[in-house]
């Protein structure tokens, strides 16, 4: 095979980045919703994906385990403790390594979930591997799936984005060595939090990754760089585009909830109206449940179900003289018909992955997401309150959030575009 010159190689890889950008329409992974701390709900039955077991994974995907260093940034003896980090390789279309080929390695960065879910849901890597003769590498994030140091997320002091990216660097270099791919360029890709890691990895490890593709990656959603109400404005926009009458009904439902609650036995009336599994103790639980439902429907508004449409069709189809009846109809349409609905935010212990993600949000990934209460939102005013958030984090984990660390370590205020500091990063 003819060896390409460096300029030709760079142009080839930039073409690859452009193609990936055009194809980067994969959905955000489950559990990727940046909700307020303590709010973590399973996805609606209408949106539940088939979660593949290891036996479901095609034979083209081979699972390996790397003895990963626990702490990459400390040199005390305990730092050299290792844990088994899972990664998956697909060499079906691999063009081979060595000095005579430029076949790339496409690396998918795992996020807050099991890595095999990416094999089921992320299609464009496998779709483009034949064209570029690429090796595909999927790396599981530490403290998620099977890659959990000490067997529990509770010893989460080593759970940081910087440690995760150092893990990825070590695994990538290991795979390049084992496949004689020292000259193969690496393109890292990810969505949501994984997309943030891909962008930051290109910043911190430009000698390893030639380019990065970050889909739905809120890298500027920290420390006041972007408006805190932007997330909910987009959710509102999705609902308004689906049905303006639905949007208006949701917008006025919050006042109606408080009006009913102010009545004698008002919380009991609301509990009966929404068939809650336990009596409501405060309106916050009901409003928070609906907030999460609408946000989740918008985040996973995928074909063929289009859950925003499902919710709005039910709301618009119910008698319009009963606002709360319309809202409940949307709940039933989205969650399915049930004898009761588990509305209370603290009614069940969170899953291990949710607890690990909450730790990350309470430590360094402090997303100041709230409701700005403007004209472009269907949600009531509820700005992000760092004091309240800190109180929750202290109570749950005994830690104080560091809201300025991400912009200090990765940039933000100085660079409204991350590309100022480096090249070949595509964000969307």
**What CATH number does the domain located at 6-223+412-427 have?**
3.40.50.1820
How many CB atoms neighbour CB 155 within 10 A? 13
Residue 221 has a pLDDT of: 84
| pLDDT tens per residue, range 136-163 | 999 999 999 999 999 887 788 899 999 9
| pLDDT tens per residue, range 401-412 | 999 999 999 987
- H helices of 300-400, in order, are 307-317, 323-335, 352-363, 386-397
d(CA 23, CA 19): 6
- CB-neighbour burial class of residue 9 (10 A; exposed 0-12, middle 13-18, buried 19+): middle
CATH architecture entry for 230-335: Up-down Bundle (1.20)
29 — pLDDT class (breaks 50, 70, 90): very low
The pLDDT of residue 16 is above 60: no
Pairing relationship of beta strands 82-90 and 135-139 according to DSSP bridges:
antiparallel
- Mean predicted confidence (pLDDT) in 384-398: 94
Residue 348 has a pLDDT of: 52
Residue 205 has a pLDDT of: 97
| pLDDT tens per residue, range 296-350 | 999 889 889 999 999 999 999 999 999 999 999 999 999 999 999 999 755 455 6
Residue 25 has a pLDDT of: 32
How many CB atoms neighbour CB 307 within 10 A? 24
The pLDDT of residue 108 is above 60: yes
Residue 413 has a pLDDT of: 65
The pLDDT of residue 165 is above 90: yes
- Mean predicted confidence (pLDDT) in 103-110: 96
Residue 13 has a pLDDT of: 43
| pLDDT tens per residue, range 346-370 | 545 566 778 899 999 999 999 998 8
Residue 344 has a pLDDT of: 78
Residue 328 has a pLDDT of: 98
Least confident of 26-35, 94-103, 225-234, 265-274: 26-35
- H helices of 205-351, in order, are 230-242, 244-261, 266-273, 283-299, 307-317, 323-335
The pLDDT of residue 196 is above 90: yes
Q: How many CA atoms lie within 13 A of 109 on its CB side?
A: 32
27 — pLDDT class (breaks 50, 70, 90): very low
Q: Domain extents for the chain?
A: 6-223+412-427, 230-335
The pLDDT of residue 34 is above 50: no
Residue 260 has a pLDDT of: 98
- For tokens 């585009």, name the residue: 241
96 — pLDDT class (breaks 50, 70, 90): confident
40 — pLDDT class (breaks 50, 70, 90): very low
Supply 182's token pair: 């020292």
- Mean predicted confidence (pLDDT) in 234-258: 97
Helix (DSSP H) and strand (DSSP E) numbers for the chain: 14, 7
d(CA 393, CA 386): 10
334 and 131 Cβ atoms separated by less than 8 Å: no
Q: Indicate the pTM of the whole model.
A: 0.83
168 and 147 Cβ atoms separated by less than 8 Å: no
Q: 134: Cβ–Cβ under 8 A, 6 or more apart, which residues?
A: 93, 94, 95, 103, 104, 105, 106, 125, 128
Residue 415 has a pLDDT of: 58
| Torsion angle of the four alpha carbons 197, 198, 202, 204, in this order, in degrees rounded to the nearest 10 | 10
1 — pLDDT class (breaks 50, 70, 90): very low
Least confident of 373-382, 391-400, 418-427: 418-427
């Amino acid at each position: 095979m003819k060896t390409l010159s460096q300029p030709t190689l760079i142009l080839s890889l930039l073409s690859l980045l452009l193609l990936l950008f055009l194809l980067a329409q994969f959905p955000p992974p489950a559990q990727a919703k940046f909700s307020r701390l303590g709010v973590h709900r399973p996805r609606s039955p209408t949106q539940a994906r088939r979660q593949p077991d290891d036996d479901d994974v095609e034979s083209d995907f081979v699972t390996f385990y790397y003895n990963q260093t626990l702490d990459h940034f400390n040199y005390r003896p305990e730092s050299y403790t290792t844990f088994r980090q899972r990664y998956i390789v697909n060499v079906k279309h691999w063009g081979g390594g060595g000095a005579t080929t430029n076949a790339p390695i496409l690396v998918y960065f795992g996020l807050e979930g099991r890595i095999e879910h990416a094999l089921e849901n992320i299609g464009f890597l496998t779709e483009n591997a034949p064209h570029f003769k690429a090796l595909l590498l999927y790396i599981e994030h530490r403290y998620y799936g099977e890659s959990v140091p000490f067997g529990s997320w509770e010893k989460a002091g080593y759970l940081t984005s910087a440690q995760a990216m150092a893990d990825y660097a070590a695994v990538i270099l290991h795979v390049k060595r084992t496949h004689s791919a020292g000259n193969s360029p690496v393109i890292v890709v990810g969505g949501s939090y994984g997309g943030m890691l891909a962008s930051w990895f290109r910043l911190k490890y430009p000698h390893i990754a030639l380019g990065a593709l970050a889909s739905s990656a809120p890298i500027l959603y920290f420390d006041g760089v972007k408006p805190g109400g932007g997330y909910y404005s987009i959710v509102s926009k999705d609902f308004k585009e689906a049905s303006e009458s639905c949007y208006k009904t949701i917008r006025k439902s919050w006042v109606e909830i408080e009006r009913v609650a102010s009545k004698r036995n008002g919380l009991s009336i609301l509990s009966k109206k929404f068939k809650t599994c336990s009596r409501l103790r405060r309106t916050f639980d009901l409003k928070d449940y609906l907030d999460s439902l609408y946000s989740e429907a918008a985040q996973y508004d995928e074909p063929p179900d289009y859950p925003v449409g499902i919710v709005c069709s039910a709301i618009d189809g119910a008698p319009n003289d009963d606002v709360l009846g319309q809202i409940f109809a949307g709940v039933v349409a989205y969650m399915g018909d049930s004898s009761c609905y588990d509305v209370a935010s603290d009614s069940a212990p969170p899953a291990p992955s949710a607890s690990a993600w909450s730790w990350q949000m309470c430590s360094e990934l402090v997303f100041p997401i709230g409701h700005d209460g403007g004209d472009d939102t269907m949600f009531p005013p509820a700005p992000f309150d760092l004091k309240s958030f800190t109180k929750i984090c202290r109570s749950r984990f005994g830690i104080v959030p560091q809201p300025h660390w991400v912009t200090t370590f990765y940039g933000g205020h100085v660079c409204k575009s991350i590309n100022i500091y480096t090249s070949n990063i595509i964000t969307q």
